[in-house]
Amino acid sequence: MSVRTLVSDEEASAEVRAVFDDIRETRGSDFINNFWRALAHDPLQLNKVWEELKEIMGPGTIDPVTKEMIYIAVSTANGCEYCIHSHTAAAKAKGMSEAQHSELISIIGMAGKTNHLVTALQVPVDDVFKAE
Amino acid sequence: MSVRTLVSDEEASAEVRAVFDDIRETRGSDFINNFWRALAHDPLQLNKVWEELKEIMGPGTIDPVTKEMIYIAVSTANGCEYCIHSHTAAAKAKGMSEAQHSELISIIGMAGKTNHLVTALQVPVDDVFKAE
Amino acid sequence: MSVRTLVSDEEASAEVRAVFDDIRETRGSDFINNFWRALAHDPLQLNKVWEELKEIMGPGTIDPVTKEMIYIAVSTANGCEYCIHSHTAAAKAKGMSEAQHSELISIIGMAGKTNHLVTALQVPVDDVFKAE
Amino acid sequence: MSVRTLVSDEEASAEVRAVFDDIRETRGSDFINNFWRALAHDPLQLNKVWEELKEIMGPGTIDPVTKEMIYIAVSTANGCEYCIHSHTAAAKAKGMSEAQHSELISIIGMAGKTNHLVTALQVPVDDVFKAE
Amino acid sequence: MSVRTLVSDEEASAEVRAVFDDIRETRGSDFINNFWRALAHDPLQLNKVWEELKEIMGPGTIDPVTKEMIYIAVSTANGCEYCIHSHTAAAKAKGMSEAQHSELISIIGMAGKTNHLVTALQVPVDDVFKAE
Amino acid sequence: MSVRTLVSDEEASAEVRAVFDDIRETRGSDFINNFWRALAHDPLQLNKVWEELKEIMGPGTIDPVTKEMIYIAVSTANGCEYCIHSHTAAAKAKGMSEAQHSELISIIGMAGKTNHLVTALQVPVDDVFKAE
């Protein structure tokens, strides 16, 4: 149902193939998911988005499972079906337990609720919360 | 700027006062933020929201700082100004470092970007991501 | 904080003045709120939006208070601060009680929660819900 | 397409079965929709969400059809496909007429439009709309 | 999967048929897309939405391809799958090149990212940006 | 009201100063808006976001004013107050006329309306719109 066809390995240019190779090596898996195949019509954009994702989701001060849970949280609030599926799969692959998944969903649901309550009431920000 | 006035300690009914007392005791602080004062016009709702939040944000399989970061992620995607302020303050109080805050913001920004890319392209969900 | 100045009665062209007059007469009040003053830079658009609003929010099969509550519900989910304020004021002016306001907010909060739960879980639509 | 399997009656634990029984009795129907089957992996959450929904959507100062229409309004603005389907079905079952459905959709569309106009113009909130 | 059936040419009333005829003539094509067939249950609304769309998307100070790109941008941020598909098809039919489509998607992704960064940081609006 | 202080020229590190200098030179203006001052707590992120924005908003197949209008469209649907203000100012500085601004707002409003109508009705995507 994409608005663009998905680029297969056979159709991939040398530039696209290089990114696909790096995705495969970085992830230790032969699988290239549809997101990259849809982006591949624009090799430069494919390369930039992959480099950015690799860096931001790579080692840092937040652990890999937490990073995926944050990604699921944003994607849920934005209603991005594909992103919820792909990052839930990634979170599980990186060690998110069933109990953590349930707890994550509870927090997302609670945040969705209080976001709506606060907005409907237009609660003013407390002075102590402001940086300046 | 609220669509409702904020209930002060003096105006609080016994029912509201009981919730305010529990908030103060649970948090070990005398401060009651505006969200609770706006909800207090409906004591039953105030009580239920507080009990739900206390339970979901309490001890579990996800650590307290991560819970607050997930809350910030949802609140940002939903554009809830108040919630971003209050949960950023809570995350810092519970130990989120400046480096973690920057990294959290990078992930939220990256997710915002790929959510929009995926949606604009209407990328179909890979079969391997589906539960059934 | 508008990106445009607000058109005062003195600055209003004859075309704008005619719409302002109709708003005043329809509402039985001399007050013209800022939304119309911001739209007034484009008299044709001002006229069309006002005619559309007057018709849709006028008599029909849904009562006036319910119409305003539906408007508040959409505006909250869309995070439109101005719209929440103006339609909450309108709902109260048309008879929404404090108890109904609290109940409305509870429903909006509950919907916000289950919307997030359903989306995070990507629950498939039951066949019986589909029209075809 | 769920990120979780749906819990069938056969797979349901005693705790889940008790909630399913209450849903069936409350609604006077044997049908359990997918939302509850997806939540059932976490029996505690299933129970809490059901109790909250039963209370909020139960008797109050807002009539049952209006409650469902408010739910449809929020779910539409949040883009929750499942929720729009399930609550439109519920609204019809509770008596929403075709004419009311059309009128509801007109109001939601109008609100979507003015929400965007107001936001694009960043119209400042009139002082008379503020509670304090 | 609509919550309503789609009105076929055979089922169309005279009023609906008149709108369908005008859509066909205006577009120089026999094809009527599903949006209009879903709206056709309410002939008055069908007529009004079509007239509004025809006028706003018709000749003006912004060229037709740009108008469609703006429509895609809004529809992406709102997560409207149908609208993204239909307006991407329209933009291509009106001359949007593959390179422009890629560039459009890059801008939408970038805006999605900075919207999230700005919101997470709650950056205050610079005084010079305000109209008054 | 930021959740972070804004970095002044005096507080800027050499790394931050280099980005500020490039912003000034690229724009031919001494003014650094708050977005960059808020990002400056994380010099690496500041640099990356600026480089990405400079490239995407620079010369390409879509003209500069159209790029800003697309940015305004996304920012409006996402409810990003700051971004609407800053990109409306940028669009005007690059030549967007008052008439184009009004037309842009009409299109955004129309898209907001039809996005909501389509979503409320859950209109199925026509087969001819799909890429595969």
DSSP symbols for chain E: --SSPPPPTTT--HHHHHHHHHHHHHHTSS---HHHHHHTTSHHHHHHHHHHHHHHTSSSSS-HHHHHHHHHHHHHHTT-HHHHHHHHHHHHHTT--HHHHHHHHHHHHHHHHHHHHHHHHTPPPPGGG---
How far is C6 from chain B, CA to nearest CA, in Å?
A: 20
Q: Do E116 and B117 touch (CB under 8 A)?
A: no
- Å between E39 CA and nearest CA of chain D: 9
Cβ distance B105 to F45 less than 8 Å, yes or no, reads yes
State how far the alpha carbon of D102 is from the alpha carbons of C66, D66, D80, E45, in Å: 14, 14, 19, 8
C-alpha span between D107 and D95 (Å, rounded): 19
Q: Which residues of chain D are modeled with pLDDT < 50? A: none
Which residue in A2, A75, A115 is closest to B124 by CB distance? A2
Alpha-carbon gap, residue F103 to F125, rounded angstroms: 28
pLDDT tens-digit map of B66-97:
999 999 999 999 999 999 999 999 999 999 99
The string of DSSP letters for A100-116 reads HHHHHHHHHHHHHHHHH
Number of other residues whose CB lies within 10 A of the CB of residue B13: 11
What 3-state DSSP class applies to B76? helix
Determine whether the interchain pair F108/E70 forms a contact, defined as Cβ–Cβ distance below 8 Å. yes
Chain F residue with CA closest to B100: the answer is: F42
Give the model confidence (pLDDT) of E41-52 as tens digits: 999 999 999 999
Residues of F in contact with D122 (CB under 8 A): 81, 84-85
A22-57 pLDDT, tens digit per residue, is: 999 999 999 999 999 999 999 999 999 999 999 999
Q: Which of B72, B111, B116 sits opposite E76 (nearest CB)?
A: B116
Asked if the Cβ–Cβ distance from D117 to F108 is below 8 Å, we say: yes
DSSP reduced 3-state for C117: helix
Residues of chain B with pLDDT under 50: none
Between residues F1 and F43, the one the model is more confident about: F43
Closest residue, chain B, to E110 (C-alpha): B113
Same domain flag for A67 and A52: no
Statement to judge: residues B63 and B118 lie in one domain: yes
Residues of C in contact with B79 (CB under 8 A): 79
Compute φ and ψ for F103, nearest 5 degrees: -70, -40
| B130 part of a folded domain | no
Q: Are residues D109 and D91 in the same domain?
A: yes
DSSP 8-state secondary structure symbol assigned to residue A95: T
pLDDT of F1 over the 80 cut: no
- Nearest by Cα to C121 from F48, A104, D99: A104
pLDDT at A132 over 80: no
Distances, alpha carbon C38 to alpha carbons C6, C46, C55, F113, in Å: 5, 9, 21, 19
End-to-end CA, chain D? 48
pLDDT band, residue E120 (cuts 50/70/90):
very high
**What is chain A's mean pLDDT, rounded?**
96
Shared domain for D17 and D66, answered yes or no, is no
Q: Which of F4, A131, F87, A115 is nearest to E121 (CA)?
A: F4
Asked if D45 contacts D51 with a C-beta cutoff of 8 angstroms, the reply is: no
CB neighbour list of residue D12: distance below 8 Å, 6 or more residues apart: D20, D40
Q: Chain B residues with CB inside 8 Å of F78's CB?
A: 79
D77: nearest CA in chain B? B78
Taking the C-alpha atoms of residue F65 and residue F69, their distance in angstroms, rounded to an integer, is 6
From first CA to last CA, the distance across chain E in angstroms is: 48
**Chain F closest-CA separation from residue C79 CA (Å):** 7
Q: How far is CA A129 from CA A71, B6, B86, in A?
A: 25, 17, 6
In angstroms, the CA E21 to CA E35 distance is 15
Whether residue E74 sits in one domain with residue E52: no
- The tens digit of pLDDT for each residue in A105-129 reads 999 999 999 999 999 999 999 999 9
Contact across the interface for C108 and A115, Cβ inside 8 Å: no
Query: D130–B4: do the CB atoms touch at under 8 Å?
Result: no
Six token digits for residue F36: 């960059």
Label residue D131 exposed, middle or buried (CB < 10 Å: 0-12, 13-18, 19+): middle
Contact list in A for residue D3 (CB cut-off 8 A) is 84-85, 88-89
Choosing from C20, C39, C56, the residue where a domain stops is C56
What is the Cα–Cα distance from E12 to E7, expressed in whole angstroms?
6
pLDDT score for D1: 62
Contact criterion met (CB below 8 Å) for A36 and A50: yes
With respect to residue A131, please indicate whether it lies within any of the assigned structural domains.
Answer: no
For residue C14, name the pLDDT band (cuts at 50, 70, 90).
very high
Q: Running DSSP on this structure, what letter comes out for residue D65?
A: H
Count of C-beta atoms within a 10 Å radius of residue B15: 13
Task: Say yes or no for a CB contact (<8 Å) between F109 and D121.
Answer: no
Q: Mutate which of A116, A118, A125 to disrupt the C interface (most C C-beta within 10 Å)?
A: A116
pLDDT at position E2: 86
pLDDT over 90 (residue E95): yes
With respect to residue C132, please indicate whether it lies within any of the assigned structural domains: no
* pLDDT at residue E68 tops 90: yes
Question: What length is written for chain F?
Answer: 132
**Which amino acid makes up residue B84?**
I
Cα–Cα distance measured from residue A48 to residue A107, given in angstroms and rounded to the nearest whole number: 32
Q: Which residues of C touch F102 (CB under 8 A)?
A: 41-42, 45
User: Residue F46's pLDDT is what?
Assistant: 98
CA quadruple B74, B78, B81, B82: dihedral, nearest 10:
-60
Query: How far apart (Å, rounded) are the C-alpha atoms in residues B49 and C31?
Result: 37
Our CA-based measurement puts residue F114 at a distance from the nearest CA of chain D, in whole angstroms, of: 7
Q: How far is E79 from chain A (nearest CA, A)?
A: 7
Does A76 contact C119 at a Cβ distance shorter than 8 Å? yes
* Residues B5, B37: Cα–Cα separation, whole Å: 8
- For the beta carbon of residue C61, count every other beta carbon within 10 angstroms: 13
Cβ-in-10-Å burial (0-12, 13-18, 19+) of E9 comes to exposed
Integer CA distances (angstroms), E45 to C16, C74, D70, F124, in order = 26, 19, 21, 19
C48 lies in the same domain as C73: no
Token digits for B101? 């805050």
Please state the domain count of chain A. Answer: 2
- State the DSSP string of D100-130: HHHHHHHHHHHHHHHHHHHHHHTPPPPGGG-
Q: The domain that contains E116 carries what CATH number?
A: 1.20.1290.10
Cβ atoms of A101 and A127 within 8 Å: the answer is no
Dihedral sign for Cα E63, E69, E71, E73, please.
Answer: negative
Q: How far apart are CA E106 and CA E120, in angstroms?
A: 21
Q: What does the alpha-carbon distance between residue D56 and residue D71 come to, in Å, rounded to a whole number? A: 11
Three-state secondary structure string covering E98-121:
HHHHHHHHHHHHHHHHHHHHHHHH
pLDDT of residue C132: 58
Q: Which residues are CB-contacts of F90 (< 8 A; sequence separation ≥ 6)? A: F68, F71
Cβ within 8 Å of residue E55, ≥6 positions away:
none
Task: Taking each helix axis as running N to C, give the angle between helix D98-121 and helix F64-77, from 0 to 180 degrees, rounded to the nearest 10.
Answer: 130
Q: What is the pLDDT of residues C29-78, one digit of tens each?
A: 999 999 999 999 999 999 999 999 999 999 999 999 999 999 999 999 99
Chains meeting F at 3+ CB pairs closer than 8 A? A, B, C, D, E
Q: Are F67 and F41 in contact (CB under 8 A)?
A: no
Give C45→chain F minimum CA distance, Å.
8
For residues F65 and F117, membership in a common domain is answered with yes
CB F50 within 8 A of CB F36: yes
Which SS3 state, helix, strand or coil, does residue D46 take?
Answer: helix
Question: Which chains touch A (3+ CB pairs under 8 A)?
Answer: B, C, D, E, F
pLDDT confidence of residue C1: 61
The pLDDT, as a whole number, for residue F130 is: 85
Query: Within chain A, what is the greatest distance between any pair of CA atoms?
Result: 59
Inter-residue contact B23 to B36 (CB < 8 Å): yes
Predicted confidence at residue A1, as pLDDT, reads: 63
Over residues F12-33, the mean pLDDT reads 97
CA distance B99 to B119: 30
A60-86 mean pLDDT: 98
For residue B108, is it within any domain? yes
Question: Does the pLDDT of residue E106 top 80, yes or no?
Answer: yes
Q: How far is F91 from chain A (nearest CA, A)?
A: 25
Per CB-CB distance under 8 Å, the chain C contacts of A114 are 109
Chain A residue closest in CA terms to D125:
A122
Q: What is the pLDDT of residue E131?
A: 76
Out of B6, B52, B132, the one facing D2 most closely (by C-beta) is B132
| Strand ranges, E, within chain C | none
- Examine the domain organization and report whether D52 and D71 are in the same domain: no
Q: Is residue E9 part of a domain?
A: yes
pLDDT averaged over chain E? Answer: 96
Note whether residue E17 is domain-resident: yes
Nearest to residue E35, comparing CAs of E4, E11, E13? Answer: E4
Do C50 and C66 have their domain in common?
no
Task: Let me know whether C68 and C34 are in one domain.
Answer: no
Could you tell me the two tokens for B12? 């609080």
The whole domain housing D36 covers 1-56
Residue B131 placed within a domain? no
What mean pLDDT is predicted for residues C81-94? 97
d(CA A122, CA B80): 10
The alpha carbon of residue B124 and the mean position of all alpha carbons in its chain are separated, in whole angstroms, by 31
Q: Please list, residue by residue across D93-112, b when 16 or more beta carbons sit within 10 angstroms of its beta carbon and e when fewer do.
A: eeebeeebbbbbbbbbbbbb
Closest CA to B121 of A45, A38, E78: A38
Query: Count of CB atoms within 10 A of residue E95's CB?
Result: 11
User: Is residue E130, in this structure, part of any structural domain at all?
Assistant: no
**Chain E contact set for D107 (CB, 8 A):** none
One domain, residues A15 and A46: yes
User: Residue A85: its chain D contacts at CB < 8 A?
Assistant: 1, 3
The answer on A52 and A64 residing in a single domain is: no
pLDDT at C131 over 90: no
User: Could you give the CA distance from residue E72 to residue B117 in angstroms, rounded to a whole number?
Assistant: 12
User: Hey, of D86, D87, D98, D102, which one would you mutate to test binding to chain E, going by the most E CBs within 10 A of its CB?
Assistant: D102
Count the helix, strand and coil residues of chain B and give each as a percent rounded to the nearest 5. 65, 0, 35
Q: Whose CA is closest to D2, among A75, A101, A91, B131?
A: B131
Query: Which of E33, E82, E106 should be substituted to probe chain F, the one whose Cβ sees the most F Cβ atoms within 10 Å?
Result: E82
